[in-house]
Amino acid sequence: MTAYPPAAAGSHPPLTDRLDGLLFFPVTAYDADGALDLDAFRAHVRAGVAAGAGAVFACCGTGEFHALAPDEYAACVAAAVDEAAGRVPVLAGTGYGTALAAQFAGLAHTAGADGLLAMPPYLVRADQAGLLRHYTALAAATPLPVVVYQRDNAVFAPDTVAALAQTPGIIGLKDGLGDLDLLQRIISAVRTAAPDRPFRYFNGLPTAELTGPAYRGLGVRLYSSAVFAFAPEIALAFHRALEDGDDATVARLLDGFYRPLVELRNQGSGYAVSLVKAGVRLRGGPSVGGVRPPLSDPGPAHVEQLARLLDRGLALVAAAPGSGA
């Protein structure tokens, strides 16, 4: 693998400074035959940016990174970069073993991405030294800034994250584990070991809004919003309420929409992806199709339940004080 120095400053501020607002994870669109539908993907990204996304994370978990061939991945990242047009940063997913992760990182760099979300290594459960070697090698193999994703088989000890935070090119940690005790110790360890180094933290749990208030208690404001992909009105209303300290609106949306949505999501394996795609289809946006194997689309009863939830969530937003309704 070719080693690169840290990315040089370009026309934009550093990525650590540009990441703000709601993080949009677009789905990847397929046609009726399951082939990549780049026009529909472009329309989906374009709509998300226009709705107010703070950043676009293309070809990540919600974007079915696992199901994409390298040429499809490269085309999607390039399309996302084109549609964002520099208005917001575009980060691309990468993963598998170190060599393949570096190859996908190279494709993302060529496509014009601003950064990478590094998902857990494929299959193996490594020790802390092995995880550190993997992400350090990936960061050295790309000029793009890297956000490391903690979840599944990539769970980090505080000292490991402190070492990652001091690695050139690694700029943040997305937490998809939900262990707040561990995350607090990680934040403390990084703050102690590298007090002057900018390092960003993200709430990366599925339906992150449900735990948004708890993460804010640790100082973690950024989160990925799956709901933004199909109901940006609800996602933005919740985000504004959280930012403004509007606890009443936060509670109404949590009780009336987000908690029932999580309970529905938990009824199906892979629903963190396939239910999002169902939501996009329900809202009448671009025809994004279903999910690729090995995931399955939700059945009619669950789609109908999602439709009722969407109606309820949109009604709650319309009835909120200051909504103009």
Could you identify the residue written with the tokens 């394996």? 269
- State yes or no: is 122 an active-site residue: no
Helix or strand run (H / E) with residue 25:
none
List the structure tokens of 135.
Answer: 């992400």
CA distance linking residue 211 with residue 74, whole number of Å: 33
DSSP E strands in 20-137: the ranges are 23-24, 55-58, 90-94, 115-118
Stated as kind and residue range, the H or E segment containing 26 is none
Single out the catalytic residue among 30, 73, 135, 174.
174
Q: Which of 68, 67, 71, 119 is nearest to 98 (CA)?
A: 119
- Token pair of 62, please? 């919600």
Interatomic CA distance for residues 97 and 224, integer angstroms: 24
Alpha carbon distance 161, 147 (integer Å): 11
Is 271 known to be catalytic? Answer: no
Supply 6's token pair: 């840290």
Q: Given the residues 73, 135, 149, 201, select the one marked as catalytic.
A: 149
The C-alpha angle with vertex 47 and arms to 305 and 319, in degrees rounded to 5, equals 50
Q: Catalytic positions, please? A: 149, 174
